[in-house]
Amino acid sequence: MKKLASKGLLMSALICGNVLWGGTTVLADEVQEYELDEMVVTATRTAQENIKVPAQVNVITAEDIKKRNVLTITDALKSIPGLYDARVGGMSDTANGIQLRGFGEESVLVLYDGMPMNDGYTAKVAWSAISIDNVERIEVVQGAASSLYGGRAVGGVINIISKDSDKDTAHVYANYGSDNTWKRGVNFTKKLDDKWSLGFGYENRRTDGYDRKPVFLYDSKAETTHANTELATGANSTIRNDGRPVQIIGTPGKQASKDDNFNFKLKHKFNDKQSLTYKYSRDKFKSFSNDAKTYMRDSSGNPIYKGYIQLPNGKYLDFNESDFTDSINYKKVDIHA
């Protein structure tokens, strides 16, 4: 990035060249190009050069997102120092869990084109509601910004800025990964005339997921009698992080998900400095487990989902099919701005 000092050296070189060549300025055939300092708006709510902003600001651009081939907004945010993403299950994870300098989502203001995304009741953010392909840049301000943005911005501000609709663009894409993971969609923008422009986007994300948690029974729940009739073997004895002994008997299966995201934007430009934009986004998300597995076997070696375990102390643990099931999560988000 060329700084002002570099430009000063360039002017000095041109002046010296003018003197040495007897008053005739000699210019090279190629056009010199200069990259201006990166401009940010989130830290002070006005456009300023990043180097002059009195705050720690990190910027993720659309080019960064493309190079890293990320699938979700939180995947993109992982590259920010001091930001922790607890959504380790990827795009099928239903957990809310970014932390910025130790502050949770309830203390970090998340904006989408300047509009708050934190839920009014829980303060959590529906991260899947924003299509990663429709993002132009993400500005992350670390540190208190409550004087500018209110009490929610104790730990910082994350401002997600969508792509503008002032240019004619069209983008159709499809990405495939392991565990039958798909991301596919279409985005286009159209400048209708000098005043009106519109944009449209649709993205579908889905994955079969992977086995991410076990089914276990606490030894402390053991009884002196058992209700089920089939004695089972195959349980794995271990101790949890909290020090409680458990019997691992299987897994509820892979954490799969399906996600459909739609966005629409209509913009009217009054002049070079004033415009009015209506934006609508809808996201329909479903997360579920399938293909449950049992480690338990009957006396003939066949897998079973109902029976009982006898512990070394002589007590019994019953297990049933319901132990291998997991919750199904639905989420539908509609955003008007």
Q: If you average pLDDT over residues 218-245, what whole number do you get?
A: 95
Share of the chain above pLDDT 70, in %: 79
Interval 64-100: pLDDT, tens = 988 888 778 888 888 888 888 776 666 666 655 788 8
Confidence of residue 220 (pLDDT cuts 50, 70, 90): very high
Predicted local distance difference test score (pLDDT) of residue 114: 79
Q: If you average pLDDT over residues 12-31, what whole number do you get?
A: 42
Q: Residue ranges per domain, the chain?
A: 1-36, 38-163, 164-337
CA pair distance 189, 194, nearest whole angstrom = 14
Q: 56-86: string of b/e by CB count within 10 Å (b at 16+)?
A: ebbbbebeebeeeebbbbbbbbeebeebebe
Interval 108-156: pLDDT, tens = 898 988 788 888 888 888 887 888 888 889 999 888 766 677 677 788 8
Q: Considering only CA atoms, which of 75, 326, 92 is closest in space to residue 209?
A: 92
Cα–Cα separations (whole angstroms), residue 161 to 59, 143, 147, 197, 311: 11, 20, 21, 17, 57
Predicted local distance difference test score (pLDDT) of residue 88: 64
Contact residues for 200 (Cβ-Cβ < 8 A; gap 6+):
187, 188, 189, 263, 264, 265
Share of the chain above pLDDT 90, in %: 36
- What CATH superfamily is the domain 38-163? TonB-dependent receptor, plug domain (2.170.130.10)
Predicted local distance difference test score (pLDDT) of residue 247: 97
Interval 29-62: pLDDT, tens = 455 555 555 655 554 545 545 444 445 788 999 8
pTM: 0.69
Q: Whole-number mean pLDDT of the chain? A: 81
